Structure 1
Amino acid sequence: LFEAGAIQVIVATEQLSWGMTMLAHLCIIMDTKRFDGRENRYVDYPIHDVLQMMGRASRPGVDQSGMCVLLTQNSKKEYYKKFIYEPLPVESHLDQRMADHMNAEIVMKTIENKQDAVDWLTWTFYYRRLSQNPNYYGLQGVTHQHLSDHLSEVVENTVEGLERFGCCSIEDDVELAPANLGLIAAYYYIRHTTIETFSRCVNEGTKRRGLVDVLCAASEFDAVPVRSGEEATLRGLAQSLGMKVEKDKLNDPHTKAQLLLNAHFNRTPITTDLSSDQRFILEHAVRL
């Protein structure tokens, strides 16, 4: 209707800005914060989300220019002006998923020992940024020795974690070989923390309800959004499903995943917002 011109205004959530193809002459971003259920507080939108929302303004072939109005707190105005008009440095987040990436390289035999792991890191954007912004990555200096020590520490901590989670084995304190859990995690693109949880909690006596509980404990569901004021809706959903949920658990994304997955199995009607979250959960659940 909006594209056909039948309606002139469309209201969309921040998440929908990534999936929608519609453009407009004017885009208004009503706020730069959202409620994070995991932290139980309002947090700023990531910069890439703000950029994505701003990108909805202007219609190529229709408008010569587009307009975006960004509404934010007065204390944030200078920050967003700087961000919009001046380039910001791009940093690596490889360290946040280092174990999963390194596990995949071990499975592919790209990394067969600890020195291979260090060499592999030197080819990454993460390595390039270490010397450019050492404070961001917790380095004390940018000399060759500082970088070498940091990479060695990262490799040691990562492979020890993978071994502890059953994803790889360390032979003679040097050689690395993939283990069964690591092979499964790499093949299905599952996080190493998730595969360890599955291995520890699932056994031959686990019933369907138990399997759903374990599935919803997966780290992949950490990103399920929990919105402000959603507790009442989730509490009502739990009651209609006959599930008992502790009050302080209603802000937990894993609890929300559990409720929406059971709602899918029981064909329980849910709101439009929850339907969007349910689709996200089902996409991950099929792979897991």
Structure 2
Amino acid sequence: AADAVAKQLAGLEQTREPLPWSKPEAPLRFQDPKLEELATVGIAFHHAGMVLDDRRAVEQAFLSGSIKVLCATTTLATGVNLPAYCVIIRGTKQYAGGGWAEISDLDFVQMIGRAGRPQFDAEGVAVVMTQNDQKQHYTELASGNTVIESSLAAELVEHINAELVLRGTSSKQAVEQWIEGTFLHVRLLKNPAWYNLDESAASKTSKEVMQSIVEDALNQLNQHDLATASGESADELAAT
């Protein structure tokens, strides 16, 4: 994608038409020679396969305005906070689980949410390229008429296991506090039935809901010999 934009820019230069953006005043240095070549005209790419130094340098150059066009994977669009005046989503499908599927609603909202820089722009522009049968769906999402649910619940056991492996040890209280800071917690209290909780969950306090969810996840980890609980109240957790 970055190459295609660079070729279009080169063709525009030959016509002597005004360029849509200015080139960097100072040369930008990267380990990747192709990236360094593209950067001379204010274009760059960003993906998980890049060396860390190049990724960070690209992010900084984009934030500073030296890079005007950044072609990136969904990892950047949903993870790193790099607001832009215009965000273009070139296709709404991604390869996952052995096949192509639509990106999640939450990822979509996060991506278009990058459009508009509060400190520079009064507005932002999001361009979405999708199949015609998905047009209405994404139009409603962009207008805020669709309720978005968290996708964390389906992978909660895996996330807790990863945290235990990284930290070595933890506690039930720490896990509960982590979940209370997520979007999952917000939606659990609003729509408990969506997450396979009984109707009584709607009347429970935040603490009670979290304790129930954490207990269920830890039981699954224990059943598969992935985590152990110790201490007087079995509050101390460790990965096996």
Q: Into which bin does the TM-score normalised by the smaller protein fall?
A: 0.3 to 0.5
Greater strand proportion: 2
**Larger relative CO (CA 8 A, sep 6+): 1 or 2?**
1
TM-score (norm 2): 0.48
TM-score (norm 1): 0.41
Greater helix proportion: 1
